[in-house]
């Protein structure tokens, strides 16, 4: 099979790339998405199957690519099918780091769960249903671990969170379910030795072009120039997955029409929700921190936050329980990077500083 454009991967970036291809007027039969998952890119509702099919996009699902030959523009699936492309977008994302990767004893036991793809989420839901009021251990205290712990609590599970697999005090934690959230790593193995890599990802320019002609990389796998900080970085978050995918597709169409587009100018944005709490963070979490607001567990509003200050300027801002306007204000502060005269004054002004900036 041959296509003008192939997106390899069926996650967030793939879905947004497909949407941008549709916006740019891709013709029926020109574009294929190849994904090892059995379902279409799922960040519903925006990217449902119903959205993708009418545009004449070939969804080649349940198909894992096991070999990529960038020189001959060929991808080969586990079942031995060959796919040719003129332009390739690599959107293979990340894979979870497993306990077996560290050689942890008992890592292959039953009822140890990871969460990256929808079938893994389904398996976890089944296990939760099967063990009403059970005990769960969540390994890893990142935002995914925290969100999962909240979800398990809501399902009446007794949850212990640990950040070390082997408890140093020798205690044994009983668990019906163990959920592991210890990070991910970008899926670049298919391209090793064929493409330039940096900081664990595939190196791109501001248009997500890689070192190989007609090959782009977006989302978690891309190491790209972060203009705001004059540095190359990799970002594992949905906001960047969406925006980088759109940028790459815009760049592809612009170059086909002899036009140019502006460089990617990304402001890091992260968010998380647990119970009735939800936070947003913009910018860079480097330098000194200044806390503000009411962070007491008994607080009725839970409105608190933090600024990060580097070289006398605000470079990052975090806010819990912000209104849409307040979140916009902290985003603006992180982008504009206003100077700070006194850290004490900043702590006193708190959110007012961002709103007035």
Contact criterion met (CB below 8 Å) for 220 and 186: yes
Instruction: From 86-94, 204-212, 292-300, 302-310, give the range in contact with ligand FAD by CB under 6 A.
Output: 86-94
Residue 34 binds to ligand FAD (criterion: CB under 6 A): yes
Q: Which of 238, 314, 317, 329 binds ligand FAD (CB under 6 A)?
A: 238
- 283, with CB counted inside 10 A (0-12, 13-18, 19+), is buried
Residue 349 binds to ligand FAD (criterion: CB under 6 A): no
CB-nearer residue toward ligand FAD: 178 or 290: 178
Residue 316 binds to ligand FAD (criterion: CB under 6 A): no
Smallest distance from the beta carbon of 20 to ligand FAD, in angstroms? Answer: 13
Site string for ligand FAD, 120-159 (x = CB under 6 A): ------------------------x---------------
**Alpha-carbon gap, residue 214 to 73, rounded angstroms:** 9
Residue 93 binds to ligand FAD (criterion: CB under 6 A): yes
Contact criterion met (CB below 8 Å) for 87 and 216: yes
Residue 237 DSSP SS3: coil
The number of CA neighbours under 13 Å toward the Cβ of 200 is 12
3-class DSSP string for 146-176: HHHHHHHHHCCCEEEEECCCCCCCCCCCCCC
Instruction: From 22-30, 88-96, 157-165, 278-286, give the range in contact with ligand FAD by CB under 6 A.
Output: 88-96
- Give the count of residues interacting with ligand FAD (CB under 6 A): 31
**Alpha-carbon gap, residue 356 to 2, rounded angstroms:** 55
CB-nearer residue toward ligand FAD: 184 or 287: 184
Distances (CA, A) of 50 to 33, 46, 335: 15, 10, 36
Smallest distance from the beta carbon of 101 to ligand FAD, in angstroms? Answer: 16
Q: Which of 35, 188, 204, 327 binds ligand FAD (CB under 6 A)?
A: 35
241-280 residues in contact with ligand FAD (CB under 6 A) are 241, 270-272
**Alpha-carbon gap, residue 147 to 68, rounded angstroms:** 36
Smallest distance from the beta carbon of 189 to ligand FAD, in angstroms? Answer: 8
Smallest distance from the beta carbon of 281 to ligand FAD, in angstroms? Answer: 10
Nearest of 80, 115, 83 to residue 98 by alpha carbon: 115
The residues that touch ligand FAD, with contacts defined as CB under 6 A, are 9-14, 34-37, 64-65, 91-94, 115-116, 144, 187, 190, 219-220, 236-239, 241, 270-272
């Amino acid at each position: 099979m041959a296509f003008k454009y192939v997106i390899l991967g069926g996650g967030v970036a793939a879905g947004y790339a497909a949407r941008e291809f549709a916006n740019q007027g891709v013709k029926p039969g020109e574009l294929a998405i190849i994904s090892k998952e059995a379902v279409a890119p799922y960040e519903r509702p925006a990217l449902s199957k119903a959205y993708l099919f009418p545009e004449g996009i070939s969804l080649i699902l349940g198909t894992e690519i096991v070999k990529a030959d960038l020189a001959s523009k060929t991808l080969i699936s586990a079942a031995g099918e060959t796919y040719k492309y003129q332009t390739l977008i690599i959107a293979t994302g990340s894979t979870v780091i497993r306990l077996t990767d560290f050689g942890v004893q008992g890592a292959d036991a039953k009822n140890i769960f990871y969460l990256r793809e929808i079938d893994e989420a389904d398996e976890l839901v089944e296990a939760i249903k099967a063990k009403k009021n059970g005990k769960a251990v969540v390994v890893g205290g990142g935002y995914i671990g925290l969100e999962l712990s909240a979800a398990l609590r809501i399902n009446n599970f007794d949850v212990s969170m640990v950040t070390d697999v082997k408890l140093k005090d020798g205690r044994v934690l009983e668990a019906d379910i163990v959920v592991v959230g210890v990070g991910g790593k970008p899926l670049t193995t298919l391209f090793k030795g064929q493409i330039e890599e940096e900081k664990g990802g595939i190196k791109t320019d501001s248009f997500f072009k890689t070192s190989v002609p007609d090959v782009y990389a977006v989302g978690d796998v891309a190491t790209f120039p972060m203009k705001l900080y004059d540095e190359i970085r990799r970002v594992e978050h949905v906001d960047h997955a969406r925006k980088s995918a759109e940028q790459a597709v815009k760049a592809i169409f612009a170059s086909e029409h002899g036009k140019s587009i502006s460089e990617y100018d990304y402001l890091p944005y992260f968010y998380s929700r647990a119970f009735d709490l939800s936070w947003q963070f913009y910018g860079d979490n480097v330098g000194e921190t200044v806390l503000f607001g009411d962070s007491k567990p008994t607080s009725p509003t839970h409105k608190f936050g933090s600024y990060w200050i580097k070289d006398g300027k605000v470079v990052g801002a975090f806010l819990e329980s912000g209104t849409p306007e307040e979140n916009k204000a902290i985003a603006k502060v992180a982008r504009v990077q206003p100077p700070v005269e006194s850290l004490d004054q900043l702590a006193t002004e708190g959110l007012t500083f961002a709103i007035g900036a």
